[in-house]
A and B are shown apart, each in its own frame.
With several copies, the nearest count.
Chain A
């Protein structure tokens, strides 16, 4: 079902935990749907220097969280915003179709954390882009 890469990031997730005094914190998902991702970012001069997460969810949700935090580290905020769900899934050597929404969640969690960072710094960043909470909204059907 899952690739070896997914299983590795699931069994040995990178960056689990929280960052004290994080510059941006984002939480997406909804317990109703069985996935919640909370992401903490440490940002210095527009560059993400650290990232941590806590996730309630399936194997894919944990693995994508782990991979997403790895991917944002060292990137500028603008670069991080360009990370797509597809890129996260590809970095994990793919996800089963029914689990693609988990990579959406990762993309959304990054955005939410950066949005929070912008807010704290009084910068504006339109609403409505962020995951509404329920995975049905970004559900990818197998066929």
Chain B
């Protein structure tokens, strides 16, 4: 197998060479603890503050509203638990959506056990949250709305600005998991009335194991990680200096020409979607036709199961995914695909292709060459397809 095409940029990205080069010195000669008083300590501190400014510039906020974490997951846990426990006196109701990442969903489920009430807003067939349903769900006990910016599986981008406006009107904190959005969609936390925002570096060509939480000045939030006085006493633990430097550089690069990057990805994606739907019968596109991440295409191929499809693609050198990477250990079909109304057996047969920087039209050609026969082969093995061909089952 010679060809190797990576089409799973929503799962993770490689670290760009420029990013890695900025990180390297902080592992070796500039390794000081950022809390230390001597010069290499102060250099680390400065490197962190420079990165903080870059993040602030990307999100249009103040540097001191940015707190570095070890992941998007930690940022989500912190935001949601932190607001919940700090505002228990005001209310115990949280609104989120049924298609959030598990970092949000499982955190909300944990809070339910702790006495909080959570509304999981349903979504329409495209994965869109309805603003009316959101309005209806709000009670005078609602302390937090947490709705993801863009979905990791089907790519649907939510009406964040409108949600922010509603939250602001009602005086409710608004958190958004923007792990998939940062670097792909322009974001302005003020314009969108976002109070808290989670991001993770490894989704935009930065390193794994570092993320950030934006917290608007004034938001009441408990600490999640107890310990030393790092991050102005808000997030304990020796700072991951190389990681933070990498995050800073990566977000700078990722937001430099977001429009150019987007239109490139959109072209690849749109051609892929169009031709796959034409070439392969019994196929549907999941997610919103236009309000979706520029690099995201998500298909359901009826009668076949996703894992075997991925394995066969892998044997042809194509790295793609089914559902989200985080749940691949699980046997359950994607909660996102079920939430948009797919029946179980179809939810099992999805393929997510997410384009990135290095992908080309030739990559799309290759997928279009390789994918249809694989789908056909798996269908030939499938008892469900046999029934359809025989006319036993209607589709």
Contact = CB atoms under 8 A, between A and B. Distances in A.
Interface of A: 1-2, 7, 10-11, 13, 16, 18, 27, 31-38, 54-59, 61-62, 98, 101, 135, 139, 142-143
Nearest to B382: A56
Contact of A59 (B308, B333, B348, B383): B308
Given A10-B308, A31-B343, A33-B344, 20 more contacts: A2-B311, A11-B312, A16-B380, A18-B386, A32-B333, A34-B305, A34-B333, A34-B344, A36-B382, A36-B383, A37-B383, A54-B381, A54-B386, A55-B383, A56-B345, A56-B383, A57-B308, A62-B381, A98-B329, A101-B331
Interface string B341-352: 001110010000
B308 A35 contact: no
A136 to B, nearest CB: 8
A101 B332 CA distance: 13
A1 B348 CA distance: 20
A2 B380 CA distance: 23
B258 interface: no
A37 B303 CA distance: 13
Q: Which of B64, B306, B381 has the most CB of A within 10 A?
A: B381
Interface of B: 37, 42, 45, 64, 232, 303-308, 311-312, 315, 329, 331, 333, 343-345, 348, 380-384, 386
Given A10-B311, A62-B308, A143-B232, A31 B348 contact: yes
B232 A59 contact: no
6 contacts: A11-B312, A27-B383, A35-B305, A56-B384, A59-B311, A142-B232
A101 to B, nearest CB: 8
A1 B36 CA distance: 10
A100 B127 CA distance: 33
B303 A56 contact: yes
Given A27-B383, A38-B383, A55-B381, A32 B311 contact: no
Contacts, number: 73
B311 A56 contact: no
A22 to B, nearest CB: 13
B348 A34 contact: yes
A49 B279 CA distance: 39
Contacts of B303: 56
Interface of A is mostly: mixed
A29 to B, nearest CB: 9
A54 B45 CA distance: 31
A55 B385 CA distance: 10
Contact of B381 (A7, A16, A101): A16
Contact of B304 (A7, A33, A37, A56): A56
Contact of A58 (B307, B329, B344): B307
Contacts of B381: 13, 16, 54-56, 62
A33 B333 CA distance: 8
B382 A55 contact: yes
A56 B37 CA distance: 18
B378 to A, nearest CB: 8
A58 B305 contact: yes
A80 to B, nearest CB: 20
Nearest to A65: B381
Contacts of B380: 16
B308 A54 contact: no
A18 B42 CA distance: 34
Contacts of B345: 31-32, 34, 56
A139 B330 CA distance: 12
A94 B128 CA distance: 43
Which among B37, B315, B348 has the greatest number of chain A C-beta atoms within 10 A? B348
Contacts of B384: 31, 36, 56
Contacts of B344: 31-34
Given A58-B305, A58-B308, A1 B382 contact: no
B382 A33 contact: no
| Of B42, B232, B307, B333, most A-chain CB atoms within 10 Å | B307
A84 B311 CA distance: 26
